[in-house]
Amino acid sequence: MGFGTSTSGPVTLNSSLTLEQQALYQNPDTIRKILNNCRTIAMVGLSTERQKASYFVATYLRSAGYRIIPVNPRADTILGERCYPDLASIPEQVDLVDIFRPAKDCLPIVQEAIACKIPAVWLQLKIVNLEAAEQAHNAGLLTVMDLCVKMEHGRYNGGLNAAGMNTGLISAKRVHRFI
C-alpha cells in the first residue's frame, strides 16, 4: 500500500526553520520517498523506557511493518531486538537513520551514516542541527529535520487519528495497530 493518495500537504509545527529550510528539510516528496522506500530503520537513541517518545515511535513503526534496529550503547536489547553501539556495528543494510539524540550529538551520527552509505537520515521533531542536515543533503542522503517520522507516517497514511491526533482527513480506511 502506498502513500500519497490523501490530500496531505506541508504542515508547520512552530518549526524554528526558515521557510527556505523547511522547503529543503521538510519536503513532502522527500518524506514520501523515505516512507515508501526505507523499510529498515536504525533508531539512534532508542530508549528502553516505554514512556519515552522514541519507544512509542519505534512500536508504532514496527506495527506499520518497518524493521527497527535499536542503536543504544547502554542496552543489550530493546523491543526484543539486539542493540548496537553505533551504526557501523550493524551487520545488515539500513535504509534510514532516525535520530533521537540532542541536536549537539547529531553531526557525528550523520557523518557515520554517510560513511556507512545509509541513504536517508531523519532528525526527529525539535531536533535541529543545520550543519548535520547540510552535510547529509550535500552527500546525497534524503534528509528530513524537525519532524516526527511517526506523525508523518500517520499523516500521509491517513492513520494519525488512530494514534491520538486528528489529521483532518476523512477516510473510510480503518487503521489497525498491533504491538
pLDDT 10s digits, 133-173: 999 999 999 999 999 999 999 998 876 554 455 444 445 45
0.85 exceeded by pTM: no
Strand ranges of the sheet holding 120-123, from the earlier edge strand across to the other edge: 67-71, 40-44, 96-99, 120-123, 142-145
In the numeric block, the cell 535499536 is attached to 70
